Chain A
Amino acid sequence: MAVRAPGLPEGAEEVSAGGFNLHIGPLYRLPDGEDGALKRFGFVAAEKHMNSVGSVHGGMLMAFMDVAMSRTSRLISGAPRCSTVSLSVDFAGPGRLGDLIEARIRVPRRTRTMVFLTGELVADGRTLVTANGLWKVAGVS
């Protein structure tokens, strides 16, 4: 079901259906860029996502990156399940309350069993996080 929340671009679709994603959500998939090569996701930073010094908690930023890369791995591989093998994150700048934080994910390489991803989180043109991830496609070895 496509739901457009305040501050989100047209075509935003909620992807936080249950469990931890729903708990930290709502999280949205945004329309692809670059003819499908760029997968985009978004969430609006709310009070529950913050730390005590007024920035979005690093744990929330990493969790959102994990969701965005997991979802991209499934989209790219067509597999129903993919699991995180490793994820490295650099924190470049703080997220603020009310920011629309966008994940921009690319897949430089994939094999039958593995997906290699790079990603960044941006808000208002500022880079908050850069990341590299490695995902395993479930059910193939």
Chain B
Amino acid sequence: MNAPPPGFVETKLADPFEIYVGPMFDSGEKGARRFAFRIDERHVNMRGILHGGMLMTFADMTLGWAVWDLTGNAPSVTLNMQTQFLKPARAGDLVEVAPELVRRTRALFFVRGDYKVDGETIFTAASVWKLLGAD
């Protein structure tokens, strides 16, 4: 169940909360990576539907990872996140995203992602990140 999907490898997570809700998988080159996770019984609500909190956590992980790649691993923090929940997902589904950089300034990164199951977007997130020490 938690083996990497074809073409993906397991991402080496460091944050205790990410390890606790993981694993997460990635594929492709730094700066153009795709990410995925497989929904299991830990991630769903009492009705068997993927919990919104897990989707937002995955969004924070993947958009943060994209910023981390773009900055050459410089420390940054999430300033905000806007999310839309389009369609339910269930245990067993693979959620995938290819994060996009919308704009970057000296201090800020504007990133977003369409989160998909079987090619269909179930959730979108847009987020602003601040590079620590930049102004």
Complex Cα–Cα for A124 and B20 (A): 26
What's the nearest-Cβ distance from chain B to residue A50, in Å? Answer: 5
A20 adjacent to B80 (CB under 8 Å): no
What's the nearest-Cβ distance from chain B to residue A70, in Å? Answer: 7
Please pick, from B20, B21, B47, B51, the residue contacting A81 in the complex, using a CB distance under 8 A.
B47
Question: Quick check: is A67 within 8 A (CB to CB) of the other chain?
Answer: yes
B42 adjacent to A88 (CB under 8 Å): no
B84 adjacent to A62 (CB under 8 Å): no
B78 adjacent to A20 (CB under 8 Å): no
B53 adjacent to A62 (CB under 8 Å): yes
B57 adjacent to A60 (CB under 8 Å): yes
Complex Cα–Cα for A117 and B81 (A): 16
Complex Cα–Cα for A62 and B83 (A): 10
Please pick, from A19, A49, A88, the residue contacting B17 in the complex, using a CB distance under 8 A.
A49
Residue from B17, B56, B58 having most chain A Cβ neighbours under 10 A: B17
Please pick, from A20, A47, A58, A67, the residue contacting B16 in the complex, using a CB distance under 8 A.
A47
A19 adjacent to B44 (CB under 8 Å): yes
**Which residue of the partner chain B has the closest CB to A91?**
B78
**Which residue of the partner chain A has the closest CB to B45?**
A19
A19 adjacent to B41 (CB under 8 Å): yes
Complex Cα–Cα for A21 and B52 (A): 11
Question: Quick check: is B105 within 8 A (CB to CB) of the other chain?
Answer: no
Per the CB 8 Å criterion, the residue count for chain B at the interface is: 35
Known: A59-B61, A85-B85, A86-B82. Contact between A21 and B18, CB under 8 A?
A: no
List the B side residues contacting A58 at CB < 8 Å: 60, 78, 81
B80 adjacent to A48 (CB under 8 Å): no
Q: List 22 A-B contacts (CB under 8 A).
A: A19-B44, A20-B45, A24-B20, A48-B17, A49-B17, A50-B17, A51-B16, A52-B16, A56-B17, A57-B57, A58-B81, A59-B21, A59-B56, A59-B58, A59-B60, A62-B53, A63-B51, A63-B52, A84-B52, A84-B83, A90-B80, A91-B79
> CB within 8 Å of A: which residues of B?
14-18, 20-21, 41-47, 51-54, 56-61, 75, 77-85, 88
> CB within 8 Å of B: which residues of A?
17-21, 23-24, 47-53, 56-60, 62-64, 66-67, 70, 81, 83-91
